[in-house]
Chains A and B, each alone.
Chain A
Amino acid sequence: GAVVSQHPSRVICKSGTSVKIECRSLDFQATTMFWYRQFPKKSLMLMATSNEGSKATYEQGVEKDKFLINHASLTLSTLTVTSAHPEDSSFYICSANRPGVEAFFGQGTRLTVV
């Protein structure tokens, strides 16, 4: 079964609104989670590293005020796309590493901004 759960799987929102995506580790504690973005037929691009109890670390070129990350507990990280625009439409995926094991990915969230 899934060890990392991501919700929602699909969301359509109006331009200018904000959307929150949740990522939960189901049977382990994750002090670090990762958020990726994927465009059609492209690879996963790391957006940011979510750190429990501290600020997220953003990759170069990713606007931290646009993509708000909160890692309030050892099993939950959230990504909020603020003031969404059509160019933010993409597939967003989170992952978490169970200690000593490979990364597990959430199911992904297909965001469409209209």
Chain B
Amino acid sequence: GQQVMQIPQYQHVQEGEDFTTYCNSSTTLSNIQWYKQRPGGHPVFLIQLVKSGEVKKQKRLTFQFGEAKKNSSLHITATQTTDVGTYFCAEMNTGFQKLVFGTGTRLLVSP
């Protein structure tokens, strides 16, 4: 079946450093969504990308969808302690509201 892998599994950075997580699929993705889950919390939707090569920015966060639509990345510039959490990519099967989640990247930011 479809597998969506994320690397790294875990990253610990100092506040102010940049951070990137990569999402790779064995199959072509129809779309990619990104979610953030704070420790003890629940996933919160960040963004959706649909087009090949699409790039979207939200303040310090930059999201990219690969040209072949098999990979995606989330880059955070100048991390802050509020960025702590696990970041998941996911493909949405829009016909049935089914999300297939990636393995997640846990980010720890030290002040």
Q: Do A and B bind each other?
A: no
Residue ranges of A at the interface with B (Cβ–Cβ < 8 Å):
none
